[in-house]
Amino acid sequence: MDILFTRCFNPTFPTWIDIGTRDGKIAYLKPSTENPPKAEEVIDLGGKLLLPGLVESHIHLDKAYLLEQLTGDVTTLRQAIEKTTELKHGFTATDIEERSLRVIRQAVAKGVTRMRCHVEIDPISRLMGMETTLALKEQVKDSIDLQIVAFPQEGIFNDEETKGLMEQAMEMGADVVGGITYNDRDLDKHLDFVFRLAEKYGKPVDLHVDFSDNADELAIMDVIRFTHQFGMQGRVSVGHLTSLGSVEKEKATFIAKELKQADIQVISLPATDLYLNGRGDKECVRRGLTPVKLLLEYGVKVIYGSNNIQNAFTPFGTADPLDIGFLLAQTSHMGREQDARQLIDMVTNGAARSLGFEQYGLQVGAEADLIVCPVMDIRTLLYTRPERERVYKSGKLVAETTVQVTNHLKVATT
Ligand SMILES: [Zn+2]
């Protein structure tokens, strides 16, 4: 055994466990014992939490950290798209690489070992984002697995060139076909192109869908229809889906059941959704979130992601997926112990299953992607989001964080 972690707490096991790694994989996993097997290095966690690496389900690396270049206030989705389109004219490969790496470094330190990123494919930056991110994927592969979504942010049919660029992106090695239901005039034509491309290259689909608080904007019904038509059940993800949060209960329940039947997974992006939705409401401002609890109640797979880090769409962001889980806990009324467990599952096993990351999880044979957290229960992890003490990718230590707090508080005796 290379490394043996002893006395590890993980909520999916009834007792503390010992986990051993060999050649980058989990090679041993049993309840803790007085006589654990031998290993080169033994790390006694003494009941601290050991999780599989976190999964960032939806992020835009190439648009991260644009805040300092922004001028004026951005208050709507349309403005955010327009301002970012303007900035894209100044993108260079080096600049995309630097901003992407800045996010990746932070994410790895927070325990992210797998990440799905959407890369812009459009007539402005053309394939520059794709080339840069593909190179990055190779450069950082010992620390993190990147899945690349070819994402036509500006629409596919607004400029004839985009169709060919999307095809080229798939040829170059994109892992997922992206799409957006609110940026092309003809939705059917857009979805038909995306699903045909996915069929041709045998790849899953990941769409930005219904990002508004308008209850009548329900492109999701068309996405469900295309999913059945192309036999893509279980291989389609939809991000945002916030219009559904404005739909009255009976209809929303019907749609939740349809989503379950089509096995479409929903990715909530609360940092952006809360920030840009509800802007038209002068009073009783809606949150503009997808109805997470309703979807879960009807068995729909729900996960969540950061979406953006410090740009026009989301001026906030730390690249720590647990911050997003915490935000969702607060804004989706998920404060119970079982909710905390569910939110952590959504950023680990649930996300890996939904996005097709393989050899994942605390099981023998999986990649030894592991994080050590200085807490002894799940609620404390989510509510305090402490440092990730050690982060391992395929059995190798890729980040360590220590925090020293010296408290000078004095409590007077009475
Ligand atoms: Zn997005």
pLDDT band at 74 (very low <50, low <70, confident <90, very high): confident
pLDDT band at 332 (very low <50, low <70, confident <90, very high): very high
Q: What is the pLDDT of residue 138?
A: 98
How far away, in angstroms, is 30 Cα from ligand 1 center? 40
**SS3 for 325?**
helix
Other C-beta atoms lying within 10 Å of the C-beta of residue 3: 20
Q: What is the pLDDT of residue 78?
A: 86
How far away, in angstroms, is 208 Cα from ligand 1 center? 6
**SS3 for 36?**
coil
173 found inside a domain: yes
Contact residues for 179 (Cβ-Cβ < 8 A; gap 6+) = 151, 152, 156, 190, 191, 194, 205, 206, 207, 208
How far away, in angstroms, is 241 Cα from ligand 1 center? 11
How far away, in angstroms, is 404 Cα from ligand 1 center? 36
Tens-place pLDDT, residues 169-190: 999 999 999 999 999 999 999 9
Indicate if 78 and 171 belong to the same structural domain: yes
Indicate if 100 and 240 belong to the same structural domain: yes
How far away, in angstroms, is 239 Cα from ligand 1 center? 7
Other C-beta atoms lying within 10 Å of the C-beta of residue 223: 26
Closest by CA position to 357, among listed 245, 204, 190: 204
How far away, in angstroms, is 17 Cα from ligand 1 center? 37
CATH of the domain at 235: 3.20.20.140
How far away, in angstroms, is 305 Cα from ligand 1 center? 9
How far away, in angstroms, is 5 Cα from ligand 1 center? 37
How far away, in angstroms, is 109 Cα from ligand 1 center? 22
409 found inside a domain: no
Indicate if 44 and 145 belong to the same structural domain: no
Other C-beta atoms lying within 10 Å of the C-beta of residue 156: 24
Tens-place pLDDT, residues 270-309: 999 999 999 999 999 999 999 999 999 999 999 999 999 9
Tens-place pLDDT, residues 199-222: 999 999 999 999 999 999 999 999
How far away, in angstroms, is 84 Cα from ligand 1 center? 13
405 found inside a domain: no
How far away, in angstroms, is 307 Cα from ligand 1 center? 5
Q: Say whether pLDDT at 11 is over 90.
A: yes
- Average pLDDT score over residue span 5-21: 97
Q: What is the pLDDT of residue 26?
A: 98
How far away, in angstroms, is 116 Cα from ligand 1 center? 10
How far away, in angstroms, is 96 Cα from ligand 1 center? 17
Sheet of strand 17-22, all strands in order from the earlier edge strand to the far edge = 25-31, 17-22, 3-8, 41-44
| Mean pLDDT computed over every residue of the chain | 96
What is the torsional sign of CA 104, 329, 291, 344? positive
- Average pLDDT score over residue span 65-93: 89
pLDDT band at 367 (very low <50, low <70, confident <90, very high): very high
414 found inside a domain: no
How far away, in angstroms, is 153 Cα from ligand 1 center? 9
How far away, in angstroms, is 21 Cα from ligand 1 center? 35
Indicate if 258 and 396 belong to the same structural domain: no
Q: Say whether pLDDT at 73 is over 90.
A: no
Q: What is the pLDDT of residue 115?
A: 98
Indicate if 243 and 282 belong to the same structural domain: yes
Q: What is the pLDDT of residue 144?
A: 98
139 found inside a domain: yes
Indicate if 209 and 83 belong to the same structural domain: yes
pLDDT band at 58 (very low <50, low <70, confident <90, very high): very high
Counting residues of the chain whose pLDDT is more than 90, the rounded percentage is: 93
How far away, in angstroms, is 25 Cα from ligand 1 center? 32
Contact residues for 358 (Cβ-Cβ < 8 A; gap 6+) = none
How far away, in angstroms, is 115 Cα from ligand 1 center? 13
How far away, in angstroms, is 124 Cα from ligand 1 center? 18
How far away, in angstroms, is 147 Cα from ligand 1 center? 14
How far away, in angstroms, is 59 Cα from ligand 1 center? 6
317 found inside a domain: yes
As given in the structure block, the two tokens for residue 343 are 């939110």
E-strand ranges in 166-301 read 176-180, 205-209, 236-240, 264-268
Closest by CA position to 252, among listed 291, 289, 217: 291
- Average pLDDT score over residue span 19-23: 98
Q: What is the pLDDT of residue 376?
A: 96
CB of 368 within 8 A of CB of 21? Answer: yes
CA angle 93–97–100, rounded 5-degree value = 135
147 found inside a domain: yes
How far away, in angstroms, is 180 Cα from ligand 1 center? 9
Indicate if 319 and 395 belong to the same structural domain: no
Q: Say whether pLDDT at 326 is over 90.
A: yes
What is the torsional sign of CA 182, 185, 188, 194? negative
How far away, in angstroms, is 201 Cα from ligand 1 center? 22
Indicate if 328 and 384 belong to the same structural domain: no
- Average pLDDT score over residue span 229-250: 98
| Domain ranges, residue 395 | 3-52+361-400
Q: What is the pLDDT of residue 170?
A: 98
How far away, in angstroms, is 148 Cα from ligand 1 center? 13
Indicate if 87 and 199 belong to the same structural domain: yes
Indicate if 131 and 249 belong to the same structural domain: yes
Indicate if 269 and 325 belong to the same structural domain: yes
- Average pLDDT score over residue span 54-82: 91
Number of domains in the chain: 2
CA distance linking residue 101 with residue 206, whole number of Å: 23
- Average pLDDT score over residue span 107-126: 96
Counting residues of the chain whose pLDDT is more than 70, the rounded percentage is: 100
- Average pLDDT score over residue span 80-108: 94
Q: What is the pLDDT of residue 155?
A: 94
pLDDT band at 400 (very low <50, low <70, confident <90, very high): very high
CATH of the domain at 35: 2.30.40.10
137 found inside a domain: yes
How far away, in angstroms, is 209 Cα from ligand 1 center? 10
- Average pLDDT score over residue span 142-147: 98
Indicate if 344 and 366 belong to the same structural domain: no
